[in-house]
């Protein structure tokens, strides 16, 4: 893959398409400006990471529905089902009550788009339901928190589809009343122009969608995930003595559940445990991605945070469990963690879980199931399919996989059979199926590219520390779960000796810069600034440097990628020497 010249424009989507997952924050200063809500940055933000930035089509749909159905002083959020909207309503009420505020009326309106009328329409029309949550404007922040933490909001493609369909429907209602035929023809012409433009773009990139294939795509995705996990299990049985696996650990597509985002899969793992087991606090083991901790803090009885996620933390946890000082229902961890790439001692955690009767949920987004096989040692394995499984950075998705050989399997399976809602939007499903066809090849190449960059960085005098699974102290635990053909992933975090060197390097390195990881193109961000700007002192207590630079290595030509890193390091070195 030839390396692209990254955009230097603030706020442009990455890649430059309407449903991109990442957004350009090309300098350290722009990232700070974004976090501080400075006008020179936020006024240029035409896009953003979907759980944090409401897509323009979704905003338009909300405005349309507020104008048609809203009351004075109300705002709205749109969800893919009544159950999701109800959970958001309950969250808003709980947050208001916790602040001793009077919770005003919150309404849920259910709407449907039309169903296809014949076979021909099935390729372009799908009946879909949405639930619109109306609430007083002063409770907007709580609704937005639910949208961000749970990852359950409608996707930008679903918003775009519903906007088009409902706009047409509402226009017809008005035309029937006012007889505005001229406006109808004008709108029809505009709609045709937009459809032709979209059709051209789709066909130009071989991405024309046939919505009638959505159910098939959903099944293919679940079979693909289960088949690839089973291939790993089979290869470990044949070629490796590293990971002990049993025949009952083979999974079917029925153990795989798809969600509209990685956070939604974590959220529903937590919801399942809350509903299936006696409620108690959870443990967050290791410093996690920010919203994982938010879910554990804000939903249910709360969380005990063991932020270092090391052997000493495990000793302390075990001691308190043995003495009865704490009783927990679940332990959540990342394998390895983002951004410090630490791997927990899962084998010891599993023994403790069995002894003290709690569940283990592991997020393997960063490691991914081709590089590490952890399912045997957890009850639930979750992942953001938005990342390397997709690679194209144009669709949000998540997966939740049950361990069929786990002690808690039957109870969890019963819960999901009775409560799982497939809210994964059909167009997103089709995109993800296409994107993930070459997942194994891309994973192999990303591993190799990342290892080459790590070797380069290891030799540079500017750098104080590199976080990568085969360099950190917990390497031995990663190796216990690394598959026969697996590597160490594409994520690298680096700390410079001087904070100014970190900023200079970041500004100079010719890579795309913005949130997300696992993209086919390399992507960098000043992670602590972007994810924890309001708590930089706090995260440093857990070993996360405020000037940490996180880089997700992509599929570019290795030599050209190395050259770009060398150039940025050389410029940084020269500037640093003059200070």
Cβ neighbours for 37, distance < 8 A, ≥ 6 positions apart: none
Per-residue pLDDT of the chain (579 residues; tens, 9 = 90+): 555 678 889 999 999 999 999 999 999 999 999 999 999 999 999 899 999 999 999 999 999 999 999 999 999 999 999 999 999 999 999 998 877 777 678 999 999 999 999 988 999 999 999 999 999 999 999 999 999 999 999 999 999 999 999 998 888 776 665 554 444 444 444 444 444 444 444 434 444 679 999 999 999 999 999 999 999 988 887 776 666 666 678 999 999 999 999 999 999 999 999 999 988 999 999 999 999 999 999 999 999 999 999 999 999 999 999 999 999 999 999 999 999 999 999 999 999 999 999 999 999 999 999 999 999 999 999 999 999 999 999 999 999 999 999 999 999 999 999 999 999 999 999 999 999 999 999 999 999 999 999 999 999 999 999 999 999 999 999 999 999 899 999 999 999 999 999 999 999 999 999 999 999 999 999 999 999 999 999 999 999 999 999 999 999 999 999 999 999 999 999 999 987
What is the DSSP code string of 403-455? -TTSTTHHHHHHHHHHH------HHHHHHHHHHGGGHHHHHHHHHHHHHHHHH
Q: Where are the domains of the chain?
A: 13-47+439-577, 56-204, 212-436
Quick one: which of 329, 354, 335 has its CA closest to 489?
A: 335
For residue 417, how many other CB atoms are within 10 A of its CB? 9
What class has domain 212-436? Answer: alpha beta
Q: Quote the pTM value.
A: 0.93
Judge residue 122's burial from the number of C-beta atoms within 10 Å of its C-beta, 0-12 exposed, 13-18 middle, 19 or more buried.
middle
Quick one: which of 282, 322, 325 has its CA closest to 301?
A: 282
Three-state DSSP at 315 gives: helix
Q: CATH classification of 13-47+439-577, choosing from 3.50.50.60, 3.30.429.10, 3.90.1150.10, 3.40.1190.20?
A: 3.90.1150.10
The radius of gyration computed from the CA coordinates of the chain, to the nearest angstrom, equals: 24
Judge residue 480's burial from the number of C-beta atoms within 10 Å of its C-beta, 0-12 exposed, 13-18 middle, 19 or more buried.
middle
d(CA 165, CA 149): 28
């Amino acid at each position: 893959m030839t390396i692209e010249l990254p955009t230097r424009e603030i706020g442009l989507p990455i890649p430059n398409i309407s449903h991109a997952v990442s957004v350009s924050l090309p300098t350290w200063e722009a990232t700070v400006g974004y976090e501080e809500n400075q006008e020179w940055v936020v006024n240029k933000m035409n896009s953003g990471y979907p759980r944090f930035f409401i897509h323009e089509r979704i905003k338009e749909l909300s405005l349309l529905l507020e104008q048609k159905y809203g009351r004075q002083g109300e705002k709205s959020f749109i969800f893919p089902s009544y159950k999701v909207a109800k959970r958001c309503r309950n969250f808003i009420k709980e947050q208001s009550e916790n602040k001793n505020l009077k919770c005003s009326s919150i309404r849920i309106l259910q709407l449907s788009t039309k169903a296809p009328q014949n076979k021909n329409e099935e390729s372009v029309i799908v009946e879909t339901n949405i639930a619109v949550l109306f609430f007083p404007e002063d409770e907007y922040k709580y609704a937005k928190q639910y949208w961000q933490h749970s990852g359950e909001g409608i996707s930008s493609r679903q918003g775009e589809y519903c906007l088009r369909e409902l706009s047409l429907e509402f226009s017809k209602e008005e035309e029937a009343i006012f007889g505005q035929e001229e406006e109808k023809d004008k709108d029809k012409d505009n709609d045709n122009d937009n459809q032709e433009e979209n059709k051209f773009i789709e066909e130009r990139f071989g991405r024309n969608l046939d919505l009638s294939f959505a159910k098939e795509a959903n099944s293919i995705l679940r079979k693909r995930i289960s088949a690839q996990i089973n291939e790993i299990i089979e290869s470990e049985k044949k070629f490796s003595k590293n990971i002990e696996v049993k025949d009952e650990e083979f999974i079917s597509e029925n153990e795989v559940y798809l969600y509209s985002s990685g956070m939604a899969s974590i959220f529903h793992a937590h919801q399942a445990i809350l509903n299936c087991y006696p409620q108690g606090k959870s443990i967050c083991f290791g410093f996690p991605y920010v919203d994982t901790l938010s879910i554990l803090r804000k939903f249910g009885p709360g969380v005990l945070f063991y932020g270092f996620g090391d052997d000493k933390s495990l000793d302390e946890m075990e001691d308190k469990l043995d003495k009865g000082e704490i009783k927990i229902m679940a332990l959540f961890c990342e394998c390895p963690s983002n951004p410090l790439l630490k791997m927990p001692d899962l084998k010891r955690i599993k023994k403790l879980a069995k002894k003290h009767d709690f569940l283990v949920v592991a997020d393997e987004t960063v490691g991914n199931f081709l590089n590490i096989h952890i399912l045997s040692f957890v009850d639930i394995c979750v992942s953001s399919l938005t990342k390397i499984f997709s690679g194209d950075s144009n669709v949000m998705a998540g997966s939740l996989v049950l361990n069929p050989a786990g002690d808690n399997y039957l109870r969890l399976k019963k819960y999901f059979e009775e409560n799982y809602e497939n809210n994964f939007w059909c167009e997103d499903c089709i995109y993800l199926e296409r994107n993930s066809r070459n997942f194994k090849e891309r994973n192999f190449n990303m591993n190799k590219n990342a290892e080459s960059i790590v070797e380069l960085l290891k030799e540079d005098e500017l750098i104080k520390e590199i976080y990568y699974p085969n360099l950190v102290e917990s390497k031995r635990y990663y190796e216990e779960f690394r598959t026969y053909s697996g590597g160490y992933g594409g994520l690298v975090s680096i700390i410079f000796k001087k904070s100014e060197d970190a900023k200079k390097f970041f500004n100079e390195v010719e890579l795309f810069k913005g949130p997300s990881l696992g993209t086919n193109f390399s992507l960098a961000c000043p992670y602590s600034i972007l994810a924890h700007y309001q708590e930089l002192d706090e995260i440093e207590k857990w070993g996360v440097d405020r000037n940490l630079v996180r880089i997700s290595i992509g599929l570019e030509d290795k030599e050209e990628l190395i050259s770009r890193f060398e150039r940025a390091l050389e410029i940084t070195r020269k500037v640093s020497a003059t200070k």
